């Protein structure tokens, strides 16, 4: 009798697990974003702007290097006061360039703000499409496989990335 009870419990547990089996799905958000022209354009714009700023900063560092080389060459001819003044000029120029670099590329820098302005609307559009897809298909959760979600195995049948891309392209 105990064996029948255990078998019944195992069957009941199996039925319960199988009833929840399709209430979640997976999506590769990066792949979805990479398939959207708006996202590609935003990324290209950010890359172009960042490259320009990097070039500007490199030019400024070249100027600092030239100032230092000139100082090294003239150092023997300068008085202590002149040496101190030149060193201060070089140091101040380095501080200015580091500040420029931080203003452009820092955590709250201009590149971050531009990314928010250009990419956030596209990301919101993708997340809204995912939410609509999940709601209309009775899903309780969708997991992003592009990040560090911790998923090490999944059935390819659960991946709804292509369905999200089709949904976004049909709008």
Q: By C-alpha distance, which of 37, 26, 17 is closest to 133?
A: 26
- Give me the residue spans of the domains in the chain: 23-169
Q: Check pLDDT > 50 for residue 152.
A: no
Q: What integer pLDDT is reported at residue 131 of this predicted model?
A: 86
pLDDT, tens digit, 9 for 90 and up, residues 106-147: 999 999 999 999 999 999 999 899 888 888 888 888 888 887
Q: What integer pLDDT is reported at residue 158 of this predicted model?
A: 81
| Residues 6 or more apart whose Cβ sits within 8 Å of residue 33 | 39, 122, 123, 126
* Out of 2-11, 18-27, 140-149, least confident range: 2-11
> Cβ of 10: how many Cβ atoms within 10 Å?
10
């Amino acid at each position: 009798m105990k064996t029948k009870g255990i078998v019944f419990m195992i069957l009941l547990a199996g039925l319960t697990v199988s009833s929840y089996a399709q209430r979640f799905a997976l999506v590769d958000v990066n792949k979805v974003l990479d398939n959207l022209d708006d996202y590609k354009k935003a990324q290209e714009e950010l890359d172009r702007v960042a490259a320009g700023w990097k070039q500007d900063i490199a030019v400024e560092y070249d100027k600092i290097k030239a100032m230092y080389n000139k100082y090294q060459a003239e150092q023997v001819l300068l008085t202590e006061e002149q040496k101190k003044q030149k060193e201060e000029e070089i140091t101040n120029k380095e501080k200015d360039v580091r500040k420029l670099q931080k203003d452009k590329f820092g955590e709250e820098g201009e590149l971050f703000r531009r990314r928010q302005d250009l990419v956030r609307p596209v990301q919101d559009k993708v997340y809204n499409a995912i939410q609509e897809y999940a709601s209309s298909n009775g899903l309780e959760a969708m997991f992003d496989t592009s990040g560090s979600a911790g998923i090490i195995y999944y059935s390819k049948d659960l991946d709804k990335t292509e369905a999200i891309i089709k949904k976004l392209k049909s709008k």
